[in-house]
Structure 1
Amino acid sequence: MNSKAKLYLIPVPLADIEHSQCLPEYNKAVILTLKYFIVENVRSARRFLKAVDRTIDIDSLNFVELNKHSNPKLITSYLDPMKEGHSIGIISEAGCPAVADPGSDVVAIAQRKGFEVCPLIGPSSILLALMGSGFNGQGFSFNGYLPIQDSDRSKTLKDLEAKALRGQTQIFIETPYRNDKLLQELIKQCKSSTLLCIASNLTAPDCLIQTKTLSQWAKNLPNLHKRPTIFLLGQYS
């Protein structure tokens, strides 16, 4: 194993904005040294790399996809170039790789094999939402996607609310086209006085990040359909 080979976790902007607004110049310098990439989607990864530097010769790069359609038996082979001393970059659709993202699978393999893992600085919708919520930033839990079954979902929402009312901020997400339904379920299942922060389209010009009681949200429902959104239940810190 070549000790110089590294696995770089490369953040991607959350919205269609200038990279200089959310990514350090160092990231570009690293990207320009790489020829191998593990990506969630090849098309969007190529578009991202071209935005980083228009002179990049995309056709000279090597891509493999890591997503829900990937064969788990082949993932280990994605790191084979590192055995020859080639560093690899991981790119997800948006935000930071390996956080609520399939990239964690290949990072785990790299850790087990003793490869050096280098997360680069970039935007995390989860942390940006927590920062802007006004909730407890020392005790919090990211719960990912909630159960799909109604009974399990209802119980989970009540459990998250109870934890939030005890002071631990609860963070969760939904598939964008189901955001509006989740908001309606929160209003129905939880106490009207419970605080909910909605952080939607973060870093975009039409970004929404606002904390209200559920009764206040019920009076003026935002349109969250197909907008990447983070939901947080908590108490003001």
Structure 2
Amino acid sequence: MSGRLLLVPNTLDLGTVREGSAPPDLRGVLPQHVIETAARLTHWVCENAKTTRAFLKRVDALVPLSQPLQALDIRELPRPPKGRPDAALPNLRPLLAPALAGHDIGLISEAGLPAVADPGAALVAAAHATGVTVQALAGPSALLLALAASGLNGQSFAFVGYVPQEASAQAQRLKELEALSRRLGQTQLMIETPYRNAALLRGLLAALAPTTRLSVSCGLTLAAGWTRTDDVAGWRARPLELPSDVPAVFALLA
């Protein structure tokens, strides 16, 4: 029998823990079953082996790993060639070899659910094509947590990823998304690199109509995390400076 590809959720606190500070307790965001499953897995596929080892050290503090950390098989997903993000990835079947040999494999993202706004989706597709069973485990998703907390339309929504950084291209894209939202009654979700949070908020407030609803969720699952939803006119009247080192999710509904 072949093993499974288990989609193991990660926390949402990557990069937010100050040097010398203890990271938050995993049990605050991950079910016990997920922690126990992560502890027993000996084969992993990830974006970054270093951060995956850091995650597994946190697991080991709660549930001892089945093997020493240095003995685990941790493989990184191949990255597209530099400057060519849309280039085809190489054959991912070799990463599934442990499953074909009968071992479960853990797929983990840098933050949140694997394969959702995440390059791990390519490995999931390869698993289906190869006949390897895929099982998603429960855990936090920044996009869905932000949508739930926004009060915007949760019946129809779309994740659009990153918008352009150049001012005119960004404004055009945001107006396109606003028009689409108005036509479909659909919430549009987007993200940005944390150090550009404030720049994206300024772009949204400059490009959107005063009556468009805008929601920002910052530091989700963290103790100081928050969500604010208001119309654009309200945001302009009561501006807020966003942190440059904490992930945020932005949502609009025209």
**TM-score normalized by structure 1?**
0.91
Residue type of the alignment partner of 1:27: V
> Which of 5, 8, 19 is equivalent to 2:6?
8
State the aligned residue count: 233
Deviation (angstroms), 1:227: 1.7
Q: For structure 2, which runs of at least 5 residues remain unmatched after alignment?
A: 14-22, 82-87
| Deviations 1:1-27 (CA, angstroms, capped at 9, x unpaired) | x33x00000001112422111111111
For 1:181, what is the secondary structure of its paired residue?
Answer: helix
For 2:154, what is the secondary structure of its paired residue?
Answer: coil
2:165 is equivalent to residue 116 of structure 1: no
Asked if the contact 1:67–1:102 (Cα under 8 Å) also holds between the matched residues in 2, the reply is: no
CA distance in 2, matches of 1:69, 1:163: 30
Q: What is residue 102 of structure 1 aligned with on the other side?
A: 119
Asked if the contact 2:189–2:251 (Cα under 8 Å) also holds between the matched residues in 1, the reply is: yes
**TM-score normalized by structure 2?**
0.86
For residues 109-148 of structure 1, the aligned pairs below 5 Å read 109-148=126-165
For residues 56-205 of structure 1, the aligned pairs below 5 Å read 56=65, 57-66=68-77, 68=79, 72-73=89-90, 75-166=92-183, 167-205=185-223
> Which of 43, 49, 61 is equivalent to 2:50?
43
Going from structure 1 to structure 2, the CA distance change for 1:23 and 1:230 (only over 3 Å counts) comes to: same
Q: What is residue 84 of structure 2 aligned with on the other side?
A: none
Q: For structure 1, which runs of at least 5 residues remain unmatched after alignment?
A: none
Query: Once the two structures are aligned, what percentage of the paired residues are identical?
Result: 39
For 1:145, what is the secondary structure of its paired residue?
Answer: coil
CA distance in 2, matches of 1:17, 1:136: 31
CA distance in 1, matches of 2:79, 2:100: 26
Residue type of the alignment partner of 2:27: S
| Deviations 1:111-167 (CA, angstroms, capped at 9, x unpaired) | 111110011000000000000000111111111112344443222201111233342
Asked if the contact 2:196–2:244 (Cα under 8 Å) also holds between the matched residues in 1, the reply is: yes
Q: CA RMSD in A?
A: 1.8
